[in-house]
């Protein structure tokens, strides 16, 4: 049974687990741009990686853009906020991709 218990947000299952398909992404995205708190950034990236691994392609696309943006910032000294290690952005499961064409 995966219905939401009364009084709980819709992304909490009857088993008390988080349903990543229903979890709102906006707050997670805000975590990943918090440059003053690396742990918040890292945990936001980890949640996005899990969401992407679970089929939320928008989360995977955001992570790809985030990695690209941080690499570009590394080439532009004016935009260097902090070093971003792509290893922390690696999802626990592969991001599903479909061939184009």
For 101, the token pair is: 């064409």
**Which is more confident, 27 or 70?**
27
- 85-88 contact pairs (CB < 8 A, 24+): 88/42, 88/45, 88/46
Query: Considering the domain boundaries, does residue 56 fall inside one?
Result: yes
Query: Considering the domain boundaries, does residue 96 fall inside one?
Result: no
Question: Domain containing 37: what range?
Answer: 26-80
* Percent share of the chain, pLDDT over 90: 22
Query: Considering the domain boundaries, does residue 73 fall inside one?
Result: yes
- Which range (1-10, 43-52, 79-88) has the least confidence? 79-88
Domain count across the chain: 1
Answer yes or no: is pLDDT of 2 > 80. no
The pTM score is 0.66
Answer yes or no: is pLDDT of 58 > 90. yes
Query: Considering the domain boundaries, does residue 12 fall inside one?
Result: no
Residues in the chain: 101
Answer yes or no: is pLDDT of 63 > 50. yes
- Residue 52 host element (H or E): helix 38-53
How many angstroms separate the CA atoms of 96 and 8, rounded? Answer: 30
Query: Considering the domain boundaries, does residue 71 fall inside one?
Result: yes
Query: Considering the domain boundaries, does residue 87 fall inside one?
Result: no
Query: Considering the domain boundaries, does residue 17 fall inside one?
Result: no
Query: Considering the domain boundaries, does residue 57 fall inside one?
Result: yes
Average pLDDT (40-63) is 90
């Amino acid at each position: 049974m995966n219905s939401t218990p009364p009084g709980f947000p819709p992304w909490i299952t009857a088993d008390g687990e988080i349903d990543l398909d229903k979890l709102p992404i906006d707050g997670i995205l805000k975590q990943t741009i918090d440059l003053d708190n690396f742990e918040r950034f890292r945990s936001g990236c980890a949640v996005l990686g899990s969401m992407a691994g679970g089929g939320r392609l928008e989360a995977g696309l955001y992570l790809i853009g985030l990695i690209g943006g941080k690499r570009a910032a590394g080439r532009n000294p004016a935009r260097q906020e902090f070093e971003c290690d792509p290893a922390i952005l690696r999802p626990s499961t592969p991001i599903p991709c479909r061939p184009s064409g």
